[in-house]
């Protein structure tokens, strides 16, 4: 097991101490933990965050190609701290809260010392929302093309949480995933392992043997003047349809090809008199005389008034038939049936993106409007977040394939949403 905290010695005496983490310190700790895991374990393809504390760590572990899912787990003592107890703690002096934290830790350590059999029994029951987690794992395997019989390198999976006490939660989730993906390489990481048994509770930890971290979302945390709170995390297992929305990119995701390239190749078939002018725009782009956005806009201006709506709908239907990923469409429909609307968020032109969304039965389409800025990167994030805020919804599932969507992926992960990255090549 890895113990990278030089400030805390793993002695026989159990002496818990409390350390308050400000948002900037929390960010630095997450970056350090991610770097530690990456240097010894390698790059992971899937990160599993344990709600609710573990969800706060997820944005620091998301990169292109890394799937994200959260699992709803909580101890009985955690639930007891909610409500009235939380309000009482928020009014108590910090020294008193420190004393209560240390006392609770010592009592828990004494009661569970040598009680290994009970800890092992805790891992036999599945985590909360097990069926939803199993559905996510199936979607993730499809997106990554994970196949135990393919002979490819076993997928690396990372389980993260804010703190580990006995480690039963981590073991329970790890056992559940191992049962579904027996060839996977799985490791666990936390910011602190708080008990005497911390050496066996997590593979990676910044702090061990008694460091009780007071996180910015803790009931007894005192915000400094002007300090921004961290986003409130959902404690439910994700993906869960309640008050949620699913989000999907188009090119390389909902379909396994580039829609605009297909659209440009299709134009001469329905409007052959535009071919020479179309070739001139494409050549200008190839020679880098104009930007990609400029080329796209000029082509859209060129075809205005020449594309029949019925012909366009037939083309969209053919595109979906030949290149659509049915398993993604089925997943979106699955959550729609549970009350979660589906959003198509894409840089593709609204000219045909809206038609594709309608043919797929999706509820919203956020795309590049004619004459407007491309719906990509931070702009896509702004439009999606504004839509979800207006509908008082949360992100529950996001499908994408491109690094341009990292801002949206991190935003979704930071709010308890799951992220499925699709491989580049066609799977159909």
- Take residue 225 and report the two structure tokens written for it: 């003047």
Query: Is residue 6 a part of any domain in this protein?
Result: no
Q: How confident is the model at residue 299 (pLDDT cuts 50, 70, 90)?
A: very high
Domain boundary among 209, 237, 265: 237
Q: How confident is the model at residue 126 (pLDDT cuts 50, 70, 90)?
A: low
Domain range for residue 147?
17-237
Classify strands 342-349 and 418-421 as parallel, antiparallel or unpaired: unpaired
φ and ψ at residue 61, rounded to 5 degrees: -115, 10
Are 44 and 156 in contact by the 8 Å Cβ rule? The answer is yes
Domain boundary among 170, 204, 237: 237
Is the predicted pLDDT of residue 39 greater than 90, yes or no?
yes
User: Do residue 104 and residue 226 come from a single domain?
Assistant: yes
Among candidate residues 45, 406, 425, 399, the one with its CA nearest the CA of residue 253: 399
User: Do residue 198 and residue 276 come from a single domain?
Assistant: no
User: Do residue 289 and residue 223 come from a single domain?
Assistant: no
Cα(378)–Cα(404) distance, integer angstroms:
9
Domain boundary among 196, 219, 237: 237
Whole-prediction pTM value? 0.78
pLDDT tens by residue, 382-392 = 999 999 999 99
Is the predicted pLDDT of residue 380 greater than 90, yes or no?
yes
pLDDT tens by residue, 131-182 = 677 878 888 888 876 554 444 567 899 999 998 877 888 888 898 888 888 8
Rg of the chain in Å (alpha carbons): 25
Q: How confident is the model at residue 81 (pLDDT cuts 50, 70, 90)?
A: low
Look at the chain and report how many structural domains it folds into.
Answer: 2
CB atoms inside a 10 Å sphere around CB 286: 10
Burial call 112-148: b when 16+ CB within 10 Å, e when fewer = beeeeeebeeebeeebbbbebbebbbebbbbbbebee
Query: Is residue 10 a part of any domain in this protein?
Result: no
Question: Residues 146-152: contacts with CB within 8 Å, 24+ apart?
Answer: 146/181, 148/181, 148/182, 148/183
Please enumerate in sequence order all residues whose Cβ is within 8 A of that of 92, keeping only pairs 6 or more positions apart, or say none.
Answer: 100, 220
Residue 248's beta-bridge partner residues? 344, 399
Please enumerate in sequence order all residues whose Cβ is within 8 A of that of 140, keeping only pairs 6 or more positions apart, or say none.
Answer: 46, 67, 69, 146, 420
Q: How confident is the model at residue 1 (pLDDT cuts 50, 70, 90)?
A: very low
Three-state SS for 265? helix
Q: How confident is the model at residue 116 (pLDDT cuts 50, 70, 90)?
A: low
First-to-final CA distance of the chain: 42
User: Do residue 224 and residue 324 come from a single domain?
Assistant: no
Query: Is residue 127 a part of any domain in this protein?
Result: yes
User: Do residue 252 and residue 310 come from a single domain?
Assistant: yes
Query: Is residue 242 a part of any domain in this protein?
Result: no
Query: Is residue 199 a part of any domain in this protein?
Result: yes
The packing angle between helices 377-390 and 406-413, to 10°, is: 40
User: Do residue 303 and residue 190 come from a single domain?
Assistant: no
User: Do residue 182 and residue 60 come from a single domain?
Assistant: yes
- Take residue 362 and report the two structure tokens written for it: 């999706």
User: Do residue 205 and residue 253 come from a single domain?
Assistant: no
CATH number of 128's domain: 3.40.50.2020
Please enumerate in sequence order all residues whose Cβ is within 8 A of that of 391, keeping only pairs 6 or more positions apart, or say none.
Answer: 245, 341
pLDDT tens by residue, 348-364 = 999 999 999 999 999 99
Most confident of 170-179, 240-249, 274-283: 274-283
Are 139 and 248 in contact by the 8 Å Cβ rule? The answer is no
């Amino acid at each position: 097991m890895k113990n990278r905290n030089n400030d805390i010695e793993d002695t026989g005496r159990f002496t818990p101490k409390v350390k308050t983490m400000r948002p900037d310190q929390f960010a630095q700790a997450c970056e350090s933990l991610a770097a530690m895991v990456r240097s010894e374990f390698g790059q992971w393809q899937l990160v599993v965050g344990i709600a609710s504390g573990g969800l706060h760590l997820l944005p620091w572990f998301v990169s292109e190609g890394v799937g994200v899912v959260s699992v709803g787990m909580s101890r009985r003592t955690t639930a007891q701290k909610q409500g009235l107890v939380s309000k009482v703690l928020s009014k108590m002096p910090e020294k008193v809260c420190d004393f209560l934290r240390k006392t609770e830790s010592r009592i828990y350590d004494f009661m569970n010392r040598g009680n290994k059999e009970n800890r092992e029994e805790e891992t036999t029951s599945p985590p909360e929302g097990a069926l939803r987690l199993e559905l996510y794992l199936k979607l993730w395997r499809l997106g990554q093309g994970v196949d135990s019989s393919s002979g490819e390198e076993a997928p690396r999976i990372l389980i993260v949480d804010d703190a580990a006490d006995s480690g039963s939660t981590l073991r329970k989730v790890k056992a559940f995933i191992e049962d579904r993906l027996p060839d996977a390489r799985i490791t666990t990481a936390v910011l602190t392992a708080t008990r005497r048994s911390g050496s066996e509770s997590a593979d990676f930890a910044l702090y061990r043997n008694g460091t009780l971290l007071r996180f910015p979302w803790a009931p007894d945390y005192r915000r400094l003047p002007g300090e921004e709170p961290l986003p409130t995390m959902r404690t439910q297992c994700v993906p869960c349809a309640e008050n949620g929305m699913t989000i999907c990119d188009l090119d390389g995701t909902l379909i396994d090809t580039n829609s605009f390239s297909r659209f440009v190749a299709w134009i001469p078939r329905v409007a052959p008199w535009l071919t020479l002018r179309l070739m001139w725009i494409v050549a200008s782009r190839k020679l880098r005389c104009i930007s990609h956005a400029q080329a796209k806009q000029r082509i859209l201006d060129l075809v205005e008034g020449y594309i029949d709506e019925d012909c366009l709908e037939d083309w969209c239907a053919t595109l979906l038939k030949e290149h659509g990923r049915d398993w993604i469409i089925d997943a979106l429909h699955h959550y729609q049936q549970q009350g979660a609307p589906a959003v198509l968020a894409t840089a593709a032109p609204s000219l045909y993106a809206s038609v594709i969304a309608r043919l797929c039965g999706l509820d919203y389409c956020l795309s590049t409007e004619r004459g407007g800025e491309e719906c990509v990167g931070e702009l896509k994030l702004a439009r999606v977040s504004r839509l979800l805020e207006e509908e008082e919804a949360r992100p529950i599932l996001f499908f994408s394939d491109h690094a341009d969507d990292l801002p949206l992926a991190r935003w979704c992960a930071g709010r308890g949403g799951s992220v499925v990255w699709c491989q580049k090549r066609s799977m159909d």
